[in-house]
Chains A and B, each alone.
Chain A
Amino acid sequence: MIHHHPGDELLLPLAAGRLGAGQAVVVSTHIEGCGECRARLHTLQALGGALLEDTDPVALGPGAWERTLQRLDRPAIEPPSPAPARRSHPALPGDVPWPASLRGCASSGWRWIGPGMRYARIGVPHEPTASVYLLRIGAGRSLPRHTHGGVELTQVLCGAFDDGRAVFGPGDFDAADETVHHQPVVQAGTTCVCLAYVGARMRFDGRMASMIGGWIGM
């Protein structure tokens, strides 16, 4: 049961094609597993369709029809077949599938950042500067208390954490910003893996945590 969803302030730009690629992969990963949000997004895409119908037509240039006809006869440029070599990605616990929204993204392996804590850097091909990470945190462990310089989007792939505001379980989505000062604690019994977009450096309370955060670029 999913309890936390992305708001319309994220779904609308996603539908409009105006959300940055880094944020889009995290929101899309949520939508993959959430029928309710798929339906909500669909309505907003229909808004795009309605605006398309409403738009004043602009005549195409001379010869546009002939050129289009010529292109129909050309073979489609299909992606090289067989399917491009599968990129390797870090293993997820149990039967957690690799999000389809991360297709085409590069990924590092799991890297140690602290006891029971690992991260993998996700490279979003079209926004190479976007900070997107997978975080894998062991049962009962916690991230150091921190706040944010900008937006932080988190999608829980498995496990659950409680950050004092709410419990976020599998499939849940969270958007935090500079007004949120929290310390996510992973619940007992399961490892928690989250996909996260970090819009600006996280600001950790402790010096050690700050150092490590700066070192891995979080």
Chain B
Amino acid sequence: MGHVRPATKPPAGRPAPPVFGHLAAVPVASADRRMPTDDEINAWMRAVAATADRRAFAALFRHFAPRVKGFLARGGADDALAEELAQETMVTLWRRASSFDPSRAQVSTWLYTIARNLRIDHHRRLAGGAGGTPDPWDAEQQPADAHLSPDALLHAAQRERGVQRALAELPPEQAQVLRLSFFDEHPHGRIARDLGIPLGTVKSRIRLAVTQLRRILERYEP
């Protein structure tokens, strides 16, 4: 089953051609698999949105579902919950693919907000809250930037692509502050412990780390 991959980049503006392998192949994470490019991922999204293409969905599932599961597991979810929410995230992707706009966000960010909202919703339901949660796919900030000008939008999209690189450039301690903010259930206490700083100074460390991240991002901008 290692053969399922688009042979060529689909032509712009057209749905991805059916160049995937056998549908029954169970998508699994594989370390030696080449990372798909942004263009490939966006083409798969278009194919899912335009023609409910299950092969494109299989490719997205193969790439993202194990990452969503890994992300949730690292954030404190047990295996069963991480598994359930990862599947639910992919089902939401299938249903809401047409609301995804690649000029506004990367698929990874969009999926992140979906998974995050599903997790919040799950915990709130456990806590006994009533219904009334906004739709998980509503990802309250999507489109977060509805009122930005096209220039600003392009800017935001470019900045987003730089985030991964900027994170790698951050001093290790600041990168750790950001990671813990996402992955720890009680980030403030954990940041204080791990960095050996008083709880009262955690907020300023967070501000500092984010400021530094934004500064690096600005350097990338034209």
Contact = CB atoms under 8 A, between A and B. Distances in A.
A12 B159 contact: no
Contacts of A76: 95
- Interface magnitude class on chain A: 35 or more
A49 B108 CA distance: 5
A42 B82 contact: no
B91 A8 contact: no
Given A58-B66, A72-B94, A125-B129, A50 B164 contact: yes
Chain A residues touching B, majority SS: helix
Q: Is the interface of B mostly helix, strand, loop or mixed?
A: helix
Interface stretch (A33-41, A165-173, A186-194, A202-210): A33-41
B68 A52 contact: yes
A86 interface: no
Interface stretch (A16-24, A88-96, A109-117, A141-149): A16-24
Contact of B67 (A16, A43, A55): A55
B58 to A, nearest CB: 8
Contacts of A44: 210
Nearest to B31: A57
A64 B91 CA distance: 12
Nearest to A16: B182
A40 to B, nearest CB: 8
B144 A48 contact: no
Contact of A68 (B87, B131, B140): B87
B132 A58 contact: no
Interface string A135-174: 0000000000000000000000000000000000000000
30 contacts: A8-B207, A8-B210, A9-B203, A9-B206, A18-B185, A38-B148, A39-B152, A41-B144, A42-B141, A43-B160, A43-B217, A45-B105, A45-B112, A45-B141, A47-B178, A47-B213, A48-B113, A48-B116, A49-B112, A51-B167, A52-B108, A52-B111, A52-B112, A57-B66, A58-B69, A59-B29, A61-B79, A66-B26, A68-B61, A68-B91
